[in-house]
Amino acid sequence: MSTTAHSEFGKLQSLFIKKAESAFINDQHLEKEWRHLNYLGKPDFNKAVLEYETFESIIKHYGATVHYLPQNDQVNMDSIYCRDAAIATNKGMIICNMGKAARNNEPLAEKNAFIENNIPVLGSIVAPGTVEGGDVAWLDEHTLAVGHTYRTNEEGIEQLRALLKPIGVDLVVTSLPHYRGTSDVFHLMSIFSPVDKDLAVVYSPLMPIAFRNLLLQRGYELIEVPDAEFESMGCNVLALAPRVCLMVAGNPKTKSLLEKAGCKVIEYSGNEISVKGGGGPTCLTRPVWRENY
């Protein structure tokens, strides 16, 4: 079977991750950083390492080749959420420019890791443009959805469009609401996780009507995350393969809805590595190749 980088749900073939010990480093490092990075609370380092080991073992069990981003003194604990600094395409990686100033050094760190692993770089988003990887999601091989948010601005979107047009990819731009403002992490993938070609997990109260209607027009069945499970990462679901879903434990209603739709759901305890920092399993991974399903 052929592979593609233009998918959110084909069987995962290869990806980058950053281990908790490489991003969080130690308890003293967490104490210094968690408040100004707007975490809900200080992660417990030892518990975070154990949570991450379980998370990593699940990914490996499904056969993906795992590349590791190394510890880097130029980045902070947010670097555990490695999706945000780059976008994978069939012609190479697009290096992002972060909308959160405290994360400005992450894209270069990831670029160096891609080069060391012989993964080509298609281009980069440069100031004043900003794009974060959590604001983009593939709808199909030739269509990338991108959220206009506080982390991804109009200039960044136009740069992204220019990089993708020569490789036959169109953008669907959707403007997200203010929600909790500039200091909060609110990406497109906070409210939209495709888990098959015609199935997506969504949080409709914060979804633009035009984008939701587009999904329905494209034939998507929508798994509606209840209000009580939005803050606990119920909408942040990583497809390991079509309808094989990895999600943070503690969202039983969303899990049940996925199972009723024919999905296999695997849970991990993510209080330290996901909930406190606002980054679920999609945020913790930078997929590169998936099966072209």
pLDDT at position 186, please? 84
pLDDT (0 to 100) of residue 293: 77
- At residue 180, the pLDDT reads 80
Give me Rg for the CA atoms of the chain: 17
Q: Which residues contact 115 (CB under 8 A, 6 or more apart)?
A: 121
Q: Six-digit token pair at 191? A: 């409210």
The rounded distance, in Å, linking the Cα atoms of 22 and 33 is: 14
The per-residue pLDDT for range 97-127, each reduced to its tens digit, is: 999 999 999 999 999 999 999 999 999 999 9
Measured CA to CA, the distance from residue 70 to residue 116 in angstroms comes to 11
**What is the C-alpha separation between 281 and 293, in angstroms, rounded?**
21
- pLDDT value for 277: 94
pLDDT value for 100: 92
Output the pLDDT for position 192. 98
Confidence at residue 1, expressed as pLDDT on a 0 to 100 scale: 73
200 within 8 A of 159, measured Cβ to Cβ: no
Provide the pLDDT for residue 140: 96
Q: Give pLDDT < 50 ranges for the chain.
A: none
Helix or strand holding residue 209 (H, E): helix 209-217
**pTM of the predicted structure, to 2 decimals:** 0.96
Token pair belonging to 224: 């509606």
Count of other CB atoms within 10 angstroms of residue 115: 12
Smallest Cα–Cα separation from 268: which of 243, 241, 286, 245? 245
Structural domain spans, the chain? 3-291
**Tokens 């709808």 — which residue?**
139
- SS3 percent helix, strand, coil of the chain, rounded to 5, is 35, 25, 40
d(CA 58, CA 55): 5
pLDDT of residue 3: 97
DSSP state of 72: -
**170, 114 Cβ separation under 8 angstroms:** no
Q: How far apart are CA 290 and CA 11, in angstroms?
A: 5
Distance from C-alpha of 76 to C-alpha of 22, rounded to nearest angstrom: 10
Q: What is the pLDDT of residue 72?
A: 96
3-291 CATH choice from 3.20.20.140, 3.75.10.10, 3.10.20.30, 3.40.50.300:
3.75.10.10
Residues 6 or more apart whose CB falls under 8 angstroms from that of 37 comprise 76, 77, 78, 102, 277
